[in-house]
Structure formats: structure tokens, C-alpha cells
Structure 1
Amino acid sequence: MPRSVGLDALAILGGRSGAVLEDPPAALYWFIASGHGAEWNVAGTRVLGAESRLVIPPNRRTQGPGPHWRVCPADGMWITDAAALQAALEDVTSPQGVAAR
């Protein structure tokens, strides 16, 4: 998703977020359980499928250049609850959320 939207969603999720990959300059990626993206419908975002490829940096790489962790996958915490992520993104992209930014 676009970095600007993702940062706002991350602020809403707080400690409920799993690992978040940042690929500068413009994208953030969350990991959700397989199969939970089938009904995903959040404007400005998309779900990558099993055939998609991402460059995964070392677990503690938190700065660029290049892909790095915005939220490290600590203690195996990779997955974010898809419903919570979708709700956060809907809050951010709703007319009220856009007006608040």
C-alpha cells in the first residue's frame, strides 16, 4: 500500500501489527494469513498472491537504503490480523480519515 496510508494505518494498529516491510520510497507491506485476502476490498491497496515476490531483509534491518523493516518480525510475529488491518485502512481512507490528515 502507499507509504502515507500505511503509516497512518500503522499508527491506528499500534501493538496489534505484525511485521511491516518498507520498500522505499513509496510502499509498506503487511503479512496476513493465507486466504484472508480473497475478499480484500480497500481502495488504494492490493493483496499480493502466492506467486508474488518480495525482497525480505535481515530481521533487524530497520533502515535503508532499500527494503527494511518498519516493524521487525520479533519472536515470529509476522502476521497481522486481516480484519484489524482492513478496519485501520478503512478508517484512514474514509472521507473522515482523509479530512483528519
Structure 2
Amino acid sequence: MDREWRRPFGSAHDDRITEDGGHEVLGVMVGVSETEVFRTQFLRSLRERGLAGVRLVSGDHHLALVKAIRKVMLGAAYQLSSVRDCEWPRPCR
């Protein structure tokens, strides 16, 4: 067969900006899709590991992400990210 079959998958990563301007990766998770359930599980896993006091979440405008943030990060504001991640196989924008 000449066609390559790719299973869709979802990934999530969170990082934070430290007081001195650096970045820290808080968590990474890969799943079979980017559903609300997947995103909710990921955010809950961060909270269970001690993430607290979140005031602002910035991300893409994926409805599942927005819903998960509202469920898990109670009281946190949400903002559409102004920086677009690199998307393989397309170049960074």
C-alpha cells in the first residue's frame, strides 16, 4: 500500500515563566485525541502534583481546552495565546 496511515493523536504541555524570566516545563501528556476529557485529565494531573494559584492560562482556541480550563483551573483567567507553536511538518509561523 502506497498510502501512509497516521493515527490522530493529541498532546498537551504546560510551562510557566519563572520570576527571573526563564521557563519551566510543568508537564507533558500524549493521548489519542485532544478531547475535553484528555485535556481535563492533563490539567487535573498538574493540580494533583501541586500546581496551585494559577491566575492566567494562555493557549490556543481549542474549545476542549477552554472547557477543561474552566472546569479545573477555577478562578483562572483564559487568554488566547499570541504566539503560535511550531506545527510539524509545517514551519513555524
| TM-score (ref. length: structure 1) | 0.28
Higher relative contact order structure (alpha carbons within 8 Å, sequence separation ≥ 6): 1
| TM-score (ref. length: structure 2) | 0.29
The structure that is helix-richer by fraction is: 1
